[in-house]
Amino acid sequence: MADNQEKDYILQVKNLKKYYPITGGFFSRVIGHVKAVDGISFDIERGTTMGLVGESGCGKSTTGRTLLRLDGEKTDGSVLFNGKEVYDFSKKEMNDKRTEMQIIFQDPFASLQPRMPVGEIIGEAVREHKIVPPEKYDEYVEKIMDECGLQSFQKERYPHEFSGGQRQRICIARAIALQPEFIVCDEPVSALDVSIQAQIINLLKELQEKRNLTYLFISHDLSVVEHISDTVGVMYLGNMVEFGKTEDIFKNPLHPYTQALLSAVPTPDPKAKMDRIVLEGSIPSPANPPKGCKFHTRCSKCMECCKCEVPEVREIEPGHKVACHLYKDQGKKVES
Amino acid sequence: MRKYIIKRILISIAILFVVSFLIYLLMRCLPTSYVENLARQKSMQPNSKSYEEWMQQLSAAYGMDKGIFSGFFTWLGNALHFNFGDSWHYTVPVTQKFADTIWVSVYMGAVSMFFEIIIAIPLGIYAATHQYQKSDYIISVVAIAGMSLPTFFFASLLKLVFCVKLGWFDLFGLTGRNYEQLSSMGQIMDKAQHLFLPIVVLVVISIGSLMRYTRTNMLEVLGQDYIRTARAKGLSEKKVIYHHAFRNTLIPLVTIIGGSLPGLFSGALITETLFGINGIGYTSYNAMVNGDIPFSMFYLVFIAILTLAGNLISDILYAVVDPRVRVS
């Protein structure tokens, strides 16, 4: 993009890959790799939200965790956070950096230490990283809890005494307490009731405005993503197939996979005619992905060249990129 | 909580009653009868009464003429007044023989358990945090080797090396030849020296299982989501492991260790026999082989009480370490 320099990107991901070895045989030799994330690139502007959507198993959560270096080493590519490579930090530096980049996990039940009172869960790292002076510590934890819709008397309680929505509030408070700039929200509402989902989404939006936060919002719920995101990336089998502004993606989906996903979103109008594009079969194994375009096995517009040639990423309209052979003569090629 | 404890104690008493009856039943059904053996010996002596006559007289004297039920309730009635009778085999009051032999076993057990815990748990944590690395494999192999060594073989091996070849320790017994001449400090050191090898045996053969158990539990906990949360907080690895992971590993460990406490009082039969230490394991084994009902009853019921108490205590400790149990 021409205006690349003028924009303030908090996160720049280039050709990121994360493979997991498959071991087998008597000596546990590596016999293959699960290519969970297979070369994806995107940038996130400060103060915005990027939605990341895709089927289960397409590598969304792995992307989120790999960005924060929570899953061992990356396989290839680069993750620049405020212009610095995340994987170049020493262990000590990384631990300090973690205050700036936080994550909210999908399962609010499993991700809270069951044997720690809530105040401690929220405040432990605050003390560890000396976010506030010790004499202000209690006050600070209470303030954060209040900000996230929790009462300060709940400090002494244990996670199992809370409901799912409240637990997710604890997870959010825990992340916010470290005063991060960037938060990966890894399907933060998919484990919750619809009524609670809205509350949590609104809380996240409120906090974003107040603290100028940047989110990477991972979800498989397209209506939630449409509501919260400024930009959207669509993932399929470890690759980003389409990326663009939220309006562009939802009004004018280019990739056949995005079109299929959007056609499956339920509408509240019972009389509206559903023109669903049904995807045949299931997602192929990421250990042995199809050659060429990974989506060709299920694509309704599959052509001969899709089966052997990997499509290049092309920018069709400003900021709207797609990786599909249907558009090979349009827009311009994007270097990756 | 109090209600829970009272309920558990009442249930324990009921269990104890049934258990002691079962033990009595089994003791009476044993093929070795002390009374029969004694009658046979007496009738062998020259100018003696016949076996049947001795049998009748001795059965009455030892209370074996009663049926199993009335025999059991007689024993129970006496036991409730803390009257456990005399040991048939050792011909001294049961409690006296017990008091003479129990402490050396408890001491041995407690010391070896202490070392077992302080060696096995850190090893288990180390192996878990270095899973599938060289150190993990080495620890696991050594631990399994220790577990699989037969006690008698390992003990004999140690005796061969350290007693026979090197001459550092005595082969048998709890005290040395010049024990009486030593000062009181010297006497303690002498006993400690004699207990060294037996304790080594007990520690080596028991470390493996506790270490494996710690490792497995630790690995399970380390795979949990909240450990990833702790890492995401940017805590140091030490904090993640000891503050978050180990705390959650403690619960099953407390159960296991609580459950093995009664084992301290059951002695170590093979080790005690091999090292000629007159502990409770060796003593109770002899009592049982000789059909000594009063001693065996006392000892086995005592172990049953300890087991029940151990379970109760570990359940209460559970509540202490696990806030979720505490509430309900």
- Tokens representing A211 are 């603290």
Verify whether the Cβ–Cβ distance A95 to B226 is below 8 Å.
no
Both B76 and B112 in one domain: the answer is: no
Split at pLDDT 50, 70, 90, the class of B258 is confident
**Is B200 part of a structural domain of the chain?**
no
A90 contact B CB<8A: no
Indicate if the pLDDT at residue B280 is higher than 60: yes
Q: What is the pLDDT of residues A38-87, one digit of tens each?
A: 889 999 999 999 999 988 888 899 999 999 998 888 999 999 999 999 99
Mark whether B227 and B272 lie in a shared domain.
yes
B54 and B101 share one domain: no
Chain B residues in contact with A94 (beta carbon < 8 A):
234
- Tens of pLDDT, residue by residue over A185-233, are 999 998 888 889 999 999 999 999 999 999 999 998 888 999 999 999 9
Domain count across chain B = 2
If asked whether residues B122 and B76 sit together in one domain, one would say: no
Domain co-membership, B12 together with B146: no
What residues does A243 pair with on adjacent strands? A233, A321
**Predicted local distance difference test score (pLDDT) of residue A322:** 92
Mean pLDDT of A162-174: 93
Q: How far apart are CA A94 and CA B235, in angstroms?
A: 10
In a domain, B85, yes or no: no
Is there a single domain that holds both residue B66 and residue B144? no
DSSP state string for A203-264 = HHHHHHHHHT-EEEEE-S-HHHHHHH-SEEEEEETTEEEEEEEHHHHHHS--SHHHHHHHHT
The Cα of A252 is separated from the nearest Cα of chain B by a number of Å equal to 37
pLDDT in tens, A10-32: 999 999 999 998 887 777 788 88
Query: Are B19 and B138 within one domain?
Result: no
Determine the pLDDT at residue A2.
44
* Same domain flag for B136 and B224: yes
Asked whether residue B112 is assigned to any structural domain, the reply reads: yes
Pair B109, B216 in one domain: yes
What mean pLDDT, rounded, does chain A reach? 89
Q: Is residue B175 part of a domain?
A: no
**CATH value at residue B102:** 1.10.3720.10
Domain span including residue B223: 97-152+206-321
| Minimum-distance CB partner of B226 among A68, A70, A110 | A110
Whether residue B107 is found in the same domain as residue B28 = no
Are residues B118 and B264 both part of a single domain?
yes
Please answer yes or no on whether B234 and A107 come within 8 Å at the CB atom.
no
Is the domain of B127 the same as that of B255? yes
d(CA A20, CA A38): 11
Distances (CA, A) of B114 to A195, A306, B107, B117, B118: 54, 68, 11, 5, 6
Examine residue B192 and state whether it is found in any structural domain, yes or no: no
Is the residue at B135 inside a domain? yes
* Any B CB within 8 A of A85 CB: no
